[in-house]
Structure 1
Amino acid sequence: MTKTLRSFPIDAVRQKFPALKRTFQGKSAVYLDGPGGSQVVKSSMDAIYAYMANGGANLHGSFPSSRETEATIAEARESVAQLFGAKSNEVVFGANMTTITFAIARALGRQWQAGDELVVTELDHRANVDPWLSIAEDRGMTVRWLRVHPDSLTLELEDLDDIITPRTKLVAVGLASNAVGTINDVPRIAAKAREVGAIMAVDAVHATPHFFVDRDQLGADLLLCSAYKFFGPHIGIAVIREGLFESLLPYKLAPAPQHLPDKLETGTQNHEGIAGIKPAVQFIASLGQGETLREQFRSGFELIESYENALAEKMRNALQAIPEVTLYQAAPEVPKTPTIAFRIAGISPHEVCQRMADEHAVFVADGDFYAMTLADKLGINQDGGWIRAGLAPYNTEEEIDRFIQGIQEIVHTLR
């Protein structure tokens, strides 16, 4: 583990994130709230400022700032397409992943009817559940659930053949749990969806910052993520397979474009935010090696994944050694993101997070994190949910030591 930590260019990485210079209560701030939104790389901030400082404009104008805006959007699309192994005309931007998913659900629902079926999971963030439940209610469809085992914190896939049927129109699954970090076997689920001709919708919001995501390897028809989770601005992103995208019937204004990908992007987009996407993606590539951008992404993510997992292992081992701490995580052999959910006996998650901030300047979060179904099933939602600590490539071993020390001191005061 030590070799892994020493080989990562942490000092160079941290120089790229201005927010890391912040202090709180006289101490340098430790951001372990990445699952809720990462800090933003400076190059992304610079691009946002540059776009606005040079004069923003709406699209389809005959003047320079309008043409430059169109070029900025095109470059952002191509960057996202390269990131996931897609085509640029399959990339859609919007306010956030939730808003885009509701729009896609409404568009798809126009072609569904009573008796059709949808599949969602108990492990997912509700942004990949409720848009589908809403359209199912509107259209009189049947909803089937992939259950989560409360002990293993993994999806129960043994009954996959019974849950995904010829009547299934769409299967919605998260690539990784934003609450407990479990990485799901999406290719296995997608293969079954493909057998029956169902659409595979994959929520990759939590996964994208942590490991290499290949749209085609997953078997996803619809891939969803958010740039603010991977070091960029607050922009939602959908990657929609071209054939599916062409068949969509979105709700839109009459004069709005009919062609891909514009037909799903209602109104004027957040152009300055979109300008910040390409630099965020380039930051990941800058950590890798290879002749092509895809090769750089793959090797960059391998470096990130190895580094983050080494830090996460240290955190998990330390927490497991504290009797008062209950960890919520899958078995060691199950792949996980560096996202650690836990509780401390005798103190509420909210109080723990407040004390960690006030006493140690360590920022961790509490709640159900919109993984409400899982929290309900585990019986913890009524008393505060989890404490969640999540890692990013700008976190250091010294910060993990401060986190561990803070938790140990809080526990000591309860004894």
Structure 2
Amino acid sequence: MDIERIRQQFPVFSIPTLKDSVFFDGAAGTQMCKSALDASVRSAIEHNANLGGHFSTSTLARQEIDRARCAAAALVNANCAEEIVFGHNMTTLTFHLSRCLGRSLRKGDEIVLTRSDHEANISPWLELAKDLELSVRWLPFDSQTYGFDISEIESSITERTKIVALSYANNITGTINDVALVAALARRKGAIVYIDAVQFAPHGVIDVQALGCDFLVCSSHKLYGPHHGILWGRLEVLEALIPYKPRPTSDSPPYKLETGTKSREAIAGILGAIDHLAWIGREFGGASEQSDKRQQIVAGTRTVVEHEQGLVQQVLDGLKGFEGIRIYGYCEPSELSRRVPTLSFTLESTPSEVVSQHMAEQGIRLWHGNNFSTETIGALGLDQNDGVVRISLAQYSSQDDVQRFLSALDRFSCPASHRPHRR
């Protein structure tokens, strides 16, 4: 993959004050690609109208949303576009859907959560459990795999379990969890399976048919698009849901779950972001112009993953050269396929916030703290406020970016007794 051609698709790199920045903050939100930006602006200018009218701008707006649904369906391998629900963000979608599912639950029913999840896939279910007096069971964190503990599945999911909510990839350790295995057991017990794929979606091929889940949610702003959420739901499950909605809203999915006026420009940007991934598949992944959208997306994703894994290995090789550093997650070359390119570490006797501030001064954008994964941080025995230093690689990340980061760590300005030294 030609990194310079990739960067040409991101206008941020043409801004004089930003072009030399290192963007290692993608796990919290990637930069927007040109096709997503162009689509959003075009939508806001050329067909800025609400839906349902017979006039041209309303018709064009509806057609673009329909195309975006088809593209999102291709992204996750849905059976049809009607299985795609758009919403403000993943957290809002999860709160909304939890309430809808709660209408069929009764006191004493069980929800299974994991200690390996982002809070957005924990708090909505905890709030539901509190309101309806449901029981909550937890899949514990596994310090060997840096994800949830597979060995506890059989005892955690029972005949009383109604919902299992879990993450596809941990946003602290980068571990890709075996969600298909959990989904298979949960569905045998008659439970609904809800997967948070926010961290996995930019770094792996999603196939909801193979996963066997009932719902899967991800975020456009971590897929090089605008701030908006994408929810896939199995059609028969969506049809059975009794949503909270205005009375005039359609009773058919996906519309019954999309309350109020849609962010049409954001949805247009989602289409642009997925088109960008398909473009990578054609340009670098071997997909042809005649290939369908799904094939192009898969080819593009695999090309990006190969690029990112090479950078992950470069980062890990560099980090291992420092004393006083602890890396959380898979580190061996043979294990790279079991993680996404999100890496977290701590420096002995050095607050993560100090490292983060130093990196910001060097033009290196990364995150520190708990990153809204309080359960994982707690399981790792770390301070909830200071947490970890987290870097996350993206398709526009380069070998030079990695080297700048490692050099900045090497020059870390702190007392000599706290400074990480090359081994």
Is the TM value for this pair above 0.5?
yes
**CA deviation vs aligned residue, 1:164-186 (integer Å, no higher than 9, x gap):** 11111111110001111000001
TM-score, length-normalised on structure 1?
Answer: 0.95
Any conservation in 2 of the 1:348–1:383 contact (CA below 8 Å)?
no
5 Å matches for 1:14-413?
14-22=7-15, 24=17, 28-86=20-78, 87-288=80-281, 289-290=287-288, 291-330=291-330, 332=332, 333-334=334-335, 335-358=338-361, 360-382=362-384, 384-410=386-412
48-57 vs 256-265, greater mean Cα deviation:
48-57
Taking a change above 3 Å as real, the CA distance of residues 23 and 353 of structure 1, as seen in their structure-2 partners, is: farther
Structure 2 letter corresponding to 1:295: Q
Go from structure 1 to structure 2 and tell me whether the alpha carbon gap of 1:412 and 1:306 turns closer, same or farther (over 3 Å shift): farther
1:246 Cα deviation from its structure 2 partner:
0.5
In structure 1, C-alpha distance between the alignment counterparts of 2:166 and 2:306, rounded to whole Å: 25
Asked if structure 1 preserves the Cα contact closer than 8 Å seen for 2:35 and 2:275, the reply is no
Per-residue deviation, 1:245: 0.2
- Structure 2 counterpart SS, 1:171: strand
Q: What is the CA distance between 1:413 and its match in structure 2?
A: 5.7
Q: Specify the SS of the correspondent of 1:238.
A: strand
Q: Distance in 2 between matches of 1:286 and 1:329?
A: 32
Quote the offset at 1:383 in angstroms: 5.1
Aligned residues of 1:21 and 1:28 also touching (Cα < 8 A): no
Cα distance in structure 1, aligned partners of 2:47 and 2:308 = 39
Task: Count residues with an aligned counterpart.
Answer: 406
Native 8 Å contact 1:180 1:339 kept in 2: yes
SS of 1:276 mapped into structure 2: helix
Find the residue that maps to 1:37 and give its secondary structure.
coil
Q: Is the 8 A contact 2:32 2:224 kept in 1?
A: yes
Give the Cα–Cα distance (whole angstroms) in 1 for the partners of residues 240 and 66 of structure 2: 22
- 1:346 Cα shift? 2.6
- TM-superposed CA distance for 1:356, in Å, is 0.8
> CA shift at 1:331, angstroms?
5.5
Per-residue deviation, 1:125: 0.3
Is the CA contact (8 Å cut-off) linking 2:68 and 2:271 kept in structure 1?
yes
Question: 2:155 aligns to what SS in structure 1?
Answer: helix
Q: Secondary structure at the match of 2:166?
A: strand
- Residue 154 of structure 1 contacts residue 330 of structure 1 at CA under 8 Å; is this kept in 2? no
Structure 2: segments with no counterpart, 5+ residues: 282-286
Pair 139,384 (structure 1): closer, same or farther in 2 beyond 3 Å: same
- Cα deviation, residue 21, structure 1: 3.0
| Deviation at residue 152 of structure 1 after TM alignment | 3.6
Q: TM-score, normalised by structure 2?
A: 0.93
Given that residues 203 and 340 in structure 2 are in contact (C-alpha distance below 8 angstroms), is that contact kept between their aligned partners in structure 1? Answer: yes
Tell me, yes or no, if the aligned pair for 1:122 and 1:146 is still in contact at 8 Å: yes
Q: Using the alignment, how far apart are the partners of 1:300 and 1:382 within structure 2?
A: 37
- Letter in structure 2 aligned against 1:17: F
Alignment partners' CA distance in 1, 2:156 and 2:271: 39
User: Secondary structure at 1:120's aligned position in 2?
Assistant: strand
- Counterpart code for 2:182: I
Q: CA deviation at 1:348?
A: 1.5
Matched-pair contact (CA < 8 Å) for 1:152–1:331: no
- Distance in 2 between residues matched to 1:292 and 1:253, nearest whole Å: 37
Gaps of 5+ in 1: 1-7
Matched residue SS, 1:158: helix
What secondary structure does 1:323 align onto?
coil
What SS does structure 1 have at the residue aligned with 2:248? coil
Q: Which residue of the partner structure matches residue 2 of structure 2? A: 9
Alpha carbon RMSD of aligned pairs, Å?
1.5
Shift of 1:324: 1.9
